[in-house]
Amino acid sequence: MMIQLRFLPLNKLPNGVVRFHRSVSPNFQVQNPNFATTLITRVSPPSHYTTAFMGTKVSAMVLDGKSVAEDIRDKLTIEISRMKNKFSVVPGLAVILVGERKDSATYVENKKEACESVGINSYEVCLRQDCREEEILKHISRFNDDPSVHGILVQLPLPSHINDRNILNAVCIEKDVDGFHPLNIGRLAMSGREPLFVPCTPKGCIELLRRYNVNIKGKNAVVIGRSNIVGMPASLLLQREDAAVTVVHSRTKNPEEITRQADIIISAAGKPNMVTASWIKPGAVLIDVGINPVEDSTDPRGYRMVGDICYEEACKIALAITPVPGGVGPMTVAMLLLNTVTSAKRIHKCN
Ligand code: NAD
């Protein structure tokens, strides 16, 4: 029987982006590293794979965010070097961290390191947990006026005494690299309007789908979660890509039944392993945004990170899946770098 996968020339992906799980038949290898398996509608769901691969069970393809992000970062490094040489412009990102949350501090540190690795200047302000709103606003205002800063990021969540709306509104939209300003979100929601920036995590999800040639147009997509920073903008982006989008949230009745209709699932609920086999349509493409710590005595830290999607179950049913870690997380950081470079180019008109 004919193998129903299609191969396309690899013009965007770095070599080795396509990886398969251990249960893949050894007969089924990508023969040429310059070719990547694509997830075009013609690709059959796994039940067909079983037939196509002569009874061998094939598990889902891994959407390798780490490799794709590395490719993006490599290209940004070259572009930043060009901007520096030709226009004497070095992109700059300012990060404001409030409080002592360990996870926030780690995210900020990762972003700082990522900036350094591609040649973006990073500026950091760390404020005490009990700082006043005016103090944060003062730093935002300073960065808004600073020509060496092209992106401003306020690490969320903020302490409960701070009104995040006031803070996010204060970032000038030309430097709103997180894409959280209401004007940028508003433009994202309206057809015929273009936001200056799209929020990094949902943008990373769509970019990953694009890189693997997943056909979004006309597909049923379910987004689990409706937060301002992930779920809501992800649903807007999918609509812009002409998907039929359903949003499932904590008050949704029958989330499992709804999710099972989806060709594409983006899950951002923050609930470990919530999406099990019975939530998934065979052949679906799964993007797992969730990052959830679960106890693990075998890990030296005593815990490990898992997604919202039960990976072990999902990879036997889905056509493709993002791992946690190594899926959406690195794409988020890559999109932040990309947004910062885009901002610097726009502000200094260097093309
Ligand atoms: P949030 O808490 O602001 O929003 C969670 C959303 O999930 C809410 O809209 C809620 O209605 C929905 N939800 C909660 N329980 C549900 C349930 N049982 N069924 C259906 N929907 C449910 O969280 P967030 O900031 O959007 O983040 C979501 C997850 O994504 C977290 O695990 C977070 O750590 C992770 N995250 C990852 C990245 C990344 O780069 N990979 C970036 C941001 C957030």
- Encode pLDDT of 245-292 as tens digits: 999 999 999 999 999 999 999 999 999 999 999 999 999 999 999 999
Which pLDDT belongs to residue 7? 31
Tell me the pLDDT band of 206, cut-offs 50, 70 and 90: very high
Is residue 225 lining ligand 1, measured as CB closer than 6 Å?
yes
CB 315 within 8 A of CB 60: yes
Which pLDDT belongs to residue 57? 61
Within its chain, how far is the Cα of 235 from the centroid? 13
Reported pTM: 0.87
Is residue 248 lining ligand 1, measured as CB closer than 6 Å?
yes
Q: Which domains does the chain have, with CATH numbers?
A: 3-59 (no CATH), 87-180 (3.40.50.10860), 198-330 (3.40.50.720)
Nearest-5° Cα angle at 253, 252 to 255 = 75
Taking 90 as the threshold, does the pLDDT of residue 11 lie above it? Answer: no
315 vs 309: CA distance, rounded Å: 10
Is residue 46 lining ligand 1, measured as CB closer than 6 Å?
no
> CB-side exposure of 329: number of CA atoms within 13 Å?
15
CB 229 within 8 A of CB 273: no
pLDDT, greater one: 84 or 3: 84
Helix intervals (H) in the chain: 46-52, 65-87, 102-118, 133-145, 164-170, 182-189, 200-211, 231-240, 255-259, 311-314, 328-348
Pick the atom of ligand 1 nearest to 307's CA.
32
219 is catalytic: no
151 CA distance to ligand 1 middle (Å): 25
Tell me the pLDDT band of 8, cut-offs 50, 70 and 90: very low
Taking 60 as the threshold, does the pLDDT of residue 99 lie above it? Answer: yes
Closest CA to 135 of 92, 180, 99, 103: 99
Taking 90 as the threshold, does the pLDDT of residue 339 lie above it? Answer: yes
Pick the atom of ligand 1 nearest to 331's CA.
40
- Give the residue whose CA is nearest to atom 35 of ligand 1: 290
Q: Which residues pair with 126 in a beta bridge?
A: 97
Question: What letter does residue 272 receive in the DSSP assignment?
Answer: T
Which pLDDT belongs to residue 68? 98
Q: Which of 64, 175, 176, 178 is catalytic?
A: 178
Q: Is 326 left (phi over 0), alpha (psi -120 to 50) or beta?
A: left
Q: Which pair of tokens denotes residue 156?
A: 């969320």
166: Cβ contacts below 8 Å, ≥ 6 apart: 133, 137
Which pLDDT belongs to residue 58? 59
Q: Are strands 285-288 and 220-224 parallel, antiparallel or unpaired?
A: unpaired
From 222, 227, 265, give the residue whose CB has the most ligand 1 atoms within 8 Å, as the site to mutate.
227
State the average pLDDT over residues 191-204: 98
> pLDDT, tens digit, for every residue of 119-165?
999 999 999 999 999 999 999 999 999 999 999 999 999 999 999 99
- Give the residue whose CA is nearest to atom 41 of ligand 1: 329
State the average pLDDT over residues 16-30: 32
155 is catalytic: yes
- Give the residue whose CA is nearest to atom 15 of ligand 1: 250
Tell me the pLDDT band of 321, cut-offs 50, 70 and 90: very high
Taking 60 as the threshold, does the pLDDT of residue 310 lie above it? Answer: yes
Q: Which pair of tokens denotes residue 348?
A: 């200094």
Q: Which of 64, 155, 175, 281 is catalytic?
A: 155
Which pLDDT belongs to residue 351? 82
146 vs 50: CA distance, rounded Å: 59
